[in-house]
Amino acid sequence: MPDVLFILLLALVVLGPKRLPQIASRAGKYLAQFQRMKREVLDQVNAEILRLEKQNTLGKTAVGNDDPSPMLASAGPGLQSLKDHT
């Protein structure tokens, strides 16, 4: 806590009392925008993971076994090499 107080006092001295609120406001806006973008990316990643898990579950019940080969074969040539490594 004393470290944060020291940094705030140093910023007040360096930036001045007129510019410090403006810069703090701008930093707050950028931080809020960054957090909003991060949340959107995480939501998209989670939605894609759920979609892939649902697709994998449906593929396993349609095939009737636990062999992931049909799923890898239908996923494309890039993922086909994963079957060789497992």
pLDDT in tens, 47-73: 999 999 999 988 777 655 555 555 555
pLDDT, residue 59, reads 78
pLDDT at 82 over 70: no
- What would the mean pLDDT of 23-35 be, rounded to a whole number? 96
Q: What is the 3-state secondary structure (H, E, C) of 32-86?
A: HHHHHHHHHHHHHHHHHHHHHHHHHHHHHHHHCCCCCHHHHHHHCHHHHHHHHHC
